Amino acid sequence: MDRRSFIAGGLSLPLLAQASGAHAQSGPLTRIIFPFAAGGSGDALCRLIAEQFSAPLGRTMIVENRTGGDGLIGIRAVKGASSDGNTILVTTGPTMYLLPMVENQPSFDAARDFVPVSQLVRFEFAVVASPAIGVDSFSELVTWLRANVAKATYGTPGSGNIPHFLGWRLEQILGLSVTRVPYRGSALVMNDLIAGHLPFGITTVSDAIAQHRANGVRILAIASAERSPFVPDVPTLKESGIDLVADGWYGMWLPAGSPPDFAEKLSAAAVAMLAKPEVKEKLMAIGLIPVGSTPEGLTKELAANTALWQPIVKATGYKIEN
């Protein structure tokens, strides 16, 4: 299995940040190491953190892009870093709980190898249809799929991520056999939806919303527990009769053994940052919904997502080679 086809969380968003310095409470420089190329929502989030945390932490923070391994290089770097509180990890929740599930030999254990700090923001997944099939609701899509078995395909941005497993679970719930087509990123999924080469796909709301508003595609259902603030007229899957919730989100962690007081300090800084109107505006503009939480809140969120997706991932039999 080519690792490049695995996109944690379902999108080609940058995932990680690492910080290092002389000591958690002192030192002039903290590096935020980002293991994907610059650009995208995750990168913007990390740069906001660097900007907003500098004053509360009393140090300069620099973002450094360190790519490779679909996030694993950065995760391993933070896992192996000193526990003096200098190294910060910012990554998607799906990266933290899905990667250990799909690797033949798990590289890390989120609960054992990291200290939780805060859930930061969340992003949403959606079922998106091509205008070529002429459906305006999720129920109409299901009807179309049952009547067009030979054409029943859908696209996801990569494999081994939330869109992949969400699609698989939808098939089980609906009792349908639909062919999944993995693409190298959401942009290619969107291109084929717009062109009418693909009946529907599963991607992020942020990747689909512009074309939805321009009538290039149709967002039929939101996978979150509540309706999206970006498309409040679109029902959720639960409202459409599907008892399944799937969210994407970013969280912040420290290496195992890091000082609890520093984790609390970072958590407070994150919550304060996310409460600022100007920060909220910047994040919402790129499809990220501010959350903020205590370390305990992040632990509960990770545990809940792990419990939800572990049996689903296991049932698919999907694995990637280390």
Instruction: Please write the tens of the pLDDT for every residue from 128-160.
Output: 999 999 999 999 999 999 999 999 999 999 899
At 36, the pLDDT band (50, 70, 90 cuts) reads low
Query: pLDDT at position 43, please?
Result: 83
Beta bridge partners of 119: 251
In angstroms, the CA 37 to CA 33 distance is 11
Contact 318, 5 (CB under 8 A): no
Q: Is the pLDDT of residue 73 over 70?
A: yes
Mean pLDDT, residues 207-219: 95
At 26, the pLDDT band (50, 70, 90 cuts) reads very low
Q: Is the pLDDT of residue 9 over 70?
A: no
Q: Is the pLDDT of residue 24 over 50?
A: no
Query: pLDDT at position 158, please?
Result: 86
Query: pLDDT at position 117, please?
Result: 95
pLDDT digits (tens, 9 = 90+) for 289-303: 999 999 999 999 999
**Backbone conformation region of residue 71, classed left if phi is above 0, alpha if psi is from -120 to 50, else beta:** left
Contact 104, 197 (CB under 8 A): no
> Which position has the higher pLDDT, 62 or 2?
62
Query: pLDDT at position 84, please?
Result: 80
Chain mean pLDDT for the chain? 87
Query: pLDDT at position 71, please?
Result: 73
Beta bridge partners of 253: 89, 116
Q: Is the pLDDT of residue 237 over 80?
A: yes
In angstroms, the CA 121 to CA 116 distance is 15
Query: pLDDT at position 167, please?
Result: 97
Contact 17, 49 (CB under 8 A): yes
What is the residue whose two structure tokens read 């679109």? 234
pLDDT digits (tens, 9 = 90+) for 89-106: 988 899 899 999 999 999
Query: pLDDT at position 13, please?
Result: 39
At 76, the pLDDT band (50, 70, 90 cuts) reads confident
At 279, the pLDDT band (50, 70, 90 cuts) reads very high
Query: What is the DSSP-derived secondary structure letter of residue 242?
Result: -
